[in-house]
């Protein structure tokens, strides 16, 4: 007993002298316990793997087998895949057709499901719903896990449309601790597309949908007064259910000398809410007024095939018109060239008038022009001078006396009409003699009546005709 007490005292003395010995002793115990637990886990893992990879035969031999495949699960009735189309009846071009892919297992899904891309001839295929519907279904007392995927098809042409087989990669649990991943294939599907109305045969501007709205917003208001340089904004909005914005019709810009147009940003959006699909598209057209007058924007329309009521309707945005006037600045900008031409023409006219007046005063124009100007201005003394020049030039007549007048002073007032009638019946020779006799009589101021002008013109014609003969 004394020996044990002494040994205990010696160990305690050593631990006091060397504290590290105590730490090493505790570390050794922790490592030993950890190794024991790891060895136990390895044994359990091996036993579990052995139970999954082998079974005992009747004669006691052990045969290993691979894990169950996707095809084996399907053949065993533990995994199913099916497809369906809605609606089942014939549809119109651009009408939405829903393709449902349903996958069910009697265990559970251990990972994500992937649907491979596929093409359908003359059909737009969209996966607008990103997630599947997950639910459980109880059949014959057994609970099944179900995934249902929804894809949308939009046929573009009339005829029979075939949906090919589709590869679907699934990951399901075979048994606790064992997952099976593989590919399933759907069965091909077929549906018919027919034109519901002959009016749609020659147009692509239509939408097939249960519900469609078409709205127009104009800034400024229709009929208001505009000025050159103002902007007109036309905003068109289409909303439709069970359709896609990529199928909506487009609207061209209006082309006119009165307007310069350009397109604004187009806002397209496809929405889905709990399996209900809708689409919207906003078009914006902006026009800048170029000229004054009446500005018009044409009517815009497209057809809507109501898939619910099976009716064809034309949706229309009404035509628009405005009256455009000039601002002072726009008027100058529009007609500055014409104004400049007018100023130049006026300047040339003034310069030409001044120059002509000077040339008339200097008698630099032909005698006919000088004669006409003096008759119009009632300068009858000069008129007789130009008549003399005309007669001297054409008929080689003799002298001119400026102190003599052409007509007799006794012919004036009421006697002028009688004189005119008498002269109208005379021959050219008598008239010429009458004119020549006027040079031998004293000259006073010529008459100022309009009929006196007629006498001068008559003598001018007489001289000209005589020279021509």
Band (147; pLDDT cuts 50, 70, 90)? very high
Architecture of the structural domain at 203-325: Sandwich (2.60)
> Is there a common fold for 70-193 and 203-325?
yes
**In the predicted model, is pLDDT for residue 430 greater than 60?**
no
CA atoms of 343 and 338, how far apart (whole Å): 9
Which stretch of 241-250, 358-367, 374-383, 400-409 has the lowest confidence by average pLDDT? 400-409
CB 407 within 8 A of CB 431: no
pLDDT tens across 193-243, in order? 999 998 888 888 899 999 999 999 999 888 788 888 889 999 999 999 999
- Model-wide pTM > 0.75: no
Tell me whether strands 267-273 and 259-263 are parallel, antiparallel or unpaired. unpaired
| Residue 100 CA: distances (Å) to CA of 127, 153, 155, 313 | 11, 11, 16, 30
Where is pLDDT greater, at 228 or 185?
185
CA terminus-to-terminus distance, the chain:
185
State the burial class of residue 257 (Cβ atoms within 10 Å of its Cβ: 0-12, 13-18, 19+). Answer: exposed
Segments making up each domain of the chain, as ranges? 2-43, 70-193, 203-325, 365-468
Stretch (H or E) spanning 86:
strand 79-86
Q: Which of 1-15, 188-202, 379-393 has the highest mean pLDDT?
A: 188-202
Band (98; pLDDT cuts 50, 70, 90)? very high
3-state class (DSSP) for residue 269: strand
Which pLDDT belongs to residue 429? Answer: 52
Which pLDDT belongs to residue 276? Answer: 86
Q: Which of 10-19, 223-232, 243-252, 371-380 has the highest mean pLDDT?
A: 243-252
Which pLDDT belongs to residue 62? Answer: 36
What's the maximum distance between 2 C-alpha atoms anywhere in the chain? 196
Architecture of the structural domain at 70-193: Sandwich (2.60)
Q: Which residues make Cβ contacts (< 8 Å) with residue 97, sequence separation at least 6? A: 85, 86, 87, 91, 152, 153, 154, 155, 191
Which stretch of 334-338, 397-401, 461-465 has the lowest confidence by average pLDDT? 397-401
Band (404; pLDDT cuts 50, 70, 90)? very low
Characterize 34-60 residue by residue with b for buried, 16 or more Cβ atoms within 10 angstroms of its Cβ, and e for exposed. Answer: eeeeeeeeeeeeeeeeeeeeeeeeeee
CA atoms of 392 and 310, how far apart (whole Å): 102
What number is the average pLDDT over the span 97-110? Answer: 92
Quick one: CA dihedral 256, 259, 265, 266, positive or negative?
A: negative
**Residue found under tokens 């005309």:** 390
Where is pLDDT greater, at 46 or 92?
92
């Amino acid at each position: 007993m004394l020996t044990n007490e002494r040994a205990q005292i010696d160990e305690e003395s050593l631990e006091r002298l060397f504290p590290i010995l105590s730490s090493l002793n505790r570390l050794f115990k922790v490592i030993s316990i950890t190794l024991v637990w790891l060895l136990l886990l390895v044994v359990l893992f091996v036993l579990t793997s052995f139970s999954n990879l082998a079974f005992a035969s009747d004669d006691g031999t052990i045969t290993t087998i691979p894990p169950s495949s996707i095809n084996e699960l399907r053949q065993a009735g533990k995994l199913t895949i099916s497809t369906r189309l809605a609606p089942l009846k014939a549809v119109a071009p651009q009408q939405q057709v829903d393709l449902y892919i349903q996958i069910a297992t009697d265990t559970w899904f251990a990972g994500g499901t992937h649907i491979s891309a596929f093409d359908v001839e003359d059909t737009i295929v969209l996966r607008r719903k990103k997630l599947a519907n997950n639910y459980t279904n109880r059949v014959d007392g057994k609970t099944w896990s179900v995934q249902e995927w929804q894809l949308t098809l939009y046929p573009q042409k009339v005829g029979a449309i075939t949906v090919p087989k589709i590869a679907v990669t699934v990951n399901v649990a075979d048994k606790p601790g064992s997952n099976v991943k593989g590919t399933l294939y759907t069965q091909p599907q077929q549906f018919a597309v027919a034109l519901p109305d002959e009016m749609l045969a020659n147009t692509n501007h239509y939408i097939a949908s249960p519900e469609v709205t078409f709205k127009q917003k104009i800034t400024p208001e229709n009929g208001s007064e505009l000025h050159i340089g103002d902007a007109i904004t036309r905003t068109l909005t289409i909303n439709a259910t069970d359709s896609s914005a990529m199928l909506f019709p487009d609207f061209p810009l209006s082309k006119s000398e009165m307007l310069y147009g350009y397109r604004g940003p187009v806002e397209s959006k496809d929405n889905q809410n709990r399996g209900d699909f809708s689409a919207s598209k906003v078009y914006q057209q902006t026009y800048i007024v170029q000229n004054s007058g009446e500005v018009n924007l044409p009517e815009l329309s497209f057809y809507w095939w109501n898939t619910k009521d099976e009716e064809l309707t034309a949706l229309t945005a009404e035509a628009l018109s405005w009256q455009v006037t000039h601002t002072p600045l726009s008027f100058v900008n529009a007609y500055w060239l014409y104004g400049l031409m007018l100023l130049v023409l006026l300047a040339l006219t003034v310069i030409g008038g001044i120059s002509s007046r000077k040339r008339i005063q200097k008698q630099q124009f032909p005698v006919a022009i000088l004669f006409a100007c003096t008759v119009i201005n009632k300068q009858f003394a000069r008129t007789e001078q130009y008549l003399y020049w005309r007669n001297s030039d054409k008929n080689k007549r003799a002298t001119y006396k400026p102190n003599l007048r052409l007509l007799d002073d006794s012919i004036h007032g009421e006697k002028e009409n009688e004189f005119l009638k008498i002269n109208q019946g005379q021959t050219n020779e008598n008239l010429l003699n009458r004119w020549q006799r006027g040079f031998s009589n004293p000259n006073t101021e010529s008459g100022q009546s309009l009929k006196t002008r007629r006498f001068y013109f008559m003598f001018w014609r007489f001289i000209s005709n005589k020279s021509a003969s």
